[in-house]
Amino acid sequence: MSSQLKESKIAFIGGGNMAAAIIGGLTVTGIAKQNIVVSEPWAVNRDKMAAQGLRVTTSNADAARDAHLVILAVKPQVAQGVCRELADAWSSSSSSPLVISIAAGITLASLQAWFKPTGQEGAAAPPHIVRVMPNTPALVGEGASGLFAANDVSGAERELATALVRSVSKAVEWVDREELIDVVTGLSGSGPAYFFAMVEHLVESATKLGLTREQATRLATQTCLGAGKMLVESPEEPAQLRKNVTSPNGTTAAALDSFEASGFAGIVDKAVNAATTRGEELGRTLGQ
Ligand SMILES: NC(=O)C1=CN([C@@H]2O[C@H](COP(=O)(O)OP(=O)(O)OC[C@H]3O[C@@H](n4cnc5c(N)ncnc54)[C@H](OP(=O)(O)O)[C@@H]3O)[C@@H](O)[C@H]2O)C=CC1
Ligand SMILES: O=C(O)[C@@H]1CCC=N1
């Protein structure tokens, strides 16, 4: 792990699902809990974080004031208010941290405008910002994340962001246009839910056909894990792995033909487009 990351004080603004996933991954990889502070208004989430030995607060300003890295992990709908609050907190300090925003859709232009210093003499310059789109498998160190940095982000800051993301993600992809973060959102940010939904449907079908729910769940989840592991570890392309399962005129062909007859490729294409478009829309409607 990078020594820069190990020595950084990290503040999470928002202690919900995604913050919990990233923090879970970070602590497993050896980031000291005393270097993490979580600001979270909801007592239930705060207590969960405190129970893990993390420092918690209800004050975003207190959490962020001395941090080297601030992870903006609130819903897009509250991002503007939170950024303005943080800008106020930094207006009386001489340095500002690197901000990592994971808020879906919220653009760098919006974040930069909301973080503008409030005009006090000697106030810190606005923070440098990296947008990251992680996903919840970060919790088990199996995340997939996309990143995009503002122009003013230095090489060292990029390395710090990469180190943070890499400590909870196996796939780490910098993209070269900001719009592509919305595509990453539609693919891997939301993606775990697509696989969970698939497993839910598989379990429903097999239960209707006679397996117990428990048996069906064990078989479906292990199939998902096994297929995922093969996708990662095998040198073969996904299409070849699919063909290896598909005996001519066999059972798999019957299922895949059924998928195709129901327009599977089109269904997936529409879904990824819907998520990507929703990201763009969030950015437009909630942003500058
Ligand atoms: N969940 C996912 O899989 C992914 C989420 N993201 C992004 O991560 C961000 C967080 O999502 P997620 O973790 O799912 O959402 P959650 O609602 O689980 O977490 C957000 C947390 O922020 C808290 N909060 C609300 N207002 C404030 C405030 N003013 N200051 C500090 N904290 C506040 C919320 O408290 P309360 O409940 O009381 O409102 C909540 O606990 C979103 O922007 C989302 O787009 C990105 C990738 C994947
Ligand atoms: O559903 C959402 O908006 C967030 C962003 C990606 C995953 N969850």
Span 130-152, pLDDT tens digits = 999 999 999 999 999 999 999 99
d(CA 28, CA 59): 26
pLDDT at 15: 97
pLDDT at 120: 63
CA of 283 to the centre of ligand 1 (A): 16
The answer to whether the CB of 134 is under 6 A from ligand 1 is yes
Q: Is 17 annotated as a binding residue?
A: yes
Q: Are strands 36-39 and 10-13 parallel, antiparallel or unpaired?
A: parallel
Is the distance from CB of 135 to CB of 143 less than 8 angstroms? yes
Residue 245 burial by Cβ neighbours in a 10 Å radius (0-12, 13-18, 19+): middle
- Please give the average per-residue pLDDT across 119-127, as a whole number: 72
Closest-CA residue, ligand 1 atom 2, reads 18
Q: In percent, how much of the chain has pLDDT > 90?
A: 89
pLDDT at 217 over 90: yes
- Domains of the chain, residue spans: 3-179, 191-281
When mean pLDDT is compared across 46-55, 89-98, 266-275, the lowest value belongs to 89-98
pLDDT band of residue 121 (cuts 50, 70, 90) is low
d(CA 190, CA 129): 22
Neighbours of 228 (CB within 10 A): 13
CA of 91 to the centre of ligand 2 (A): 31
pLDDT band of residue 126 (cuts 50, 70, 90) is confident
pLDDT at 95: 76
Mean pLDDT of the chain: 95
pLDDT at 239: 98
- Equal fold, 3-179 vs 191-281: no
CA of 235 to the centre of ligand 2 (A): 31
CATH assignment, 3-179: 3.40.50.720
CA 105 to ligand 1: nearest atom: 45
The answer to whether the CB of 263 is under 6 A from ligand 1 is no
Protein fold of 191-281: ProC C-terminal domain-like fold (1.10.3730)
Closest-CA residue, ligand 1 atom 32, reads 14
- Please give the average per-residue pLDDT across 44-71, as a whole number: 95
CA of 181 to the centre of ligand 2 (A): 12
Is the distance from CB of 207 to CB of 216 less than 8 angstroms? yes
pLDDT at 48: 96
